[in-house]
Amino acid sequence: MSRVVSVVTGSSNSGRACLAKLGASPSSVGSSLSLRACFRSEERAAEFRRDEPCAASADVRVGVDAADPASLRAALEGSHTAVIVTPLDHARGFGQDAEMSIAMVRAALDAGAQRLVHVGSWTTKAPAAMPGLAGRFLATERFLAEEVGDAAQWAVLRGGYFAGNLVPLFGAALREGGDSVLRFPPVRCAPVDARDIGEAAAALCAADDEAFGAAHHGKFIECCGPHMLGFGEVAEALGAALGRELAHEPMAVEAWCEGKPPPMQELLRYMHAEQEAAVPFEQDGAFARLLGREPTSVAQWASEHARAFQ
């Protein structure tokens, strides 16, 4: 009998990558899993159907809104595993994100789910320094640890600093202005490809109950890229992908923060103050073991996303 894996939401980068990996790996999961992709809008569901081969065999559910418990219960009914991705809706703002994530967890449990995979964030390690961002994720982590406990299997994937952040940071300047300089505060981090987080979630979904319980239950898994980089090295990698010589021009943190939303200001101040110690850099190899390979490097990510900067 197949186990239903429901991904809420399937339109997130990590959620979509999770579905794609599971759908493309019949040899590793056989017929033991059936996929359910949950979307809030028909537009996002249509993109998934158009772009992902696994959509042909997935159960696609539309109208699944984290703010609507009834829609969540209907979408998650009969699921063995639920992949819960923290919502990101700029129109709604960040204020309800934790509440909606917990609502998704509750709905999954009410629907009988035996395993929960939560995609959260590294910012929970410093809630005092980054209350705006950490607040989106910390309550869900606490709910899983304190309220769910051993009533169901669960694990948290803490996403690191996303390589995808480079597009809104520098895309327009490089693409439209033909700029050759990345102007950004001097910070260091190990950027992670969000698709890798989705693939790690797929590995957690595919594990049998005994293996998951022994290796992953109750764990917080730090997700980061393979190299700790300064933005001079990031500029080098982007330049190589674009066939252009790019340089990093350090700017003062407060100059960058001017006019930015408070959560972004908190983030950059913390990263600048802590440098390598800010965004967790994996030491125990748990993330790489889930992937079965080294995480995607910034150089590889840049070569695959060069169009976003051209």
Query: Cβ(192)–Cβ(281) under 8 Å?
Result: no
**Using one digit for the tens of pLDDT, what is the confidence trace for 128-138?**
999 999 999 99
Res 27: pLDDT: 44
Q: What is the pLDDT of residue 28?
A: 44
Candidate from 63-67, 278-282, 288-292 with smallest mean pLDDT? 278-282
Average pLDDT over residues 78-97: 76
Pairwise CA distance, residues 128 & 265, whole Å: 13
- Of the listed ranges 21-35, 197-211, 294-308, the least confidently predicted one is 21-35
Mean pLDDT of 61-85: 92
* pLDDT above 70: residue 94: no
**For residue 169, what are its two tokens?**
């940071």
Closest by alpha carbon to 79, among 107, 103, 44? 107
pLDDT digit string, tens, across residues 154-173 = 999 999 999 999 999 999 99
Q: Among the CATH numbers 3.40.50.620, 3.40.50.720, 3.40.50.2000, 3.40.50.300, which is that of 3-160+192-225+282-295?
A: 3.40.50.720
> Confidence class of residue 175 from pLDDT cuts 50, 70 and 90?
confident
Q: Hunting for tokens 């994100």 — which residue is that?
A: 97
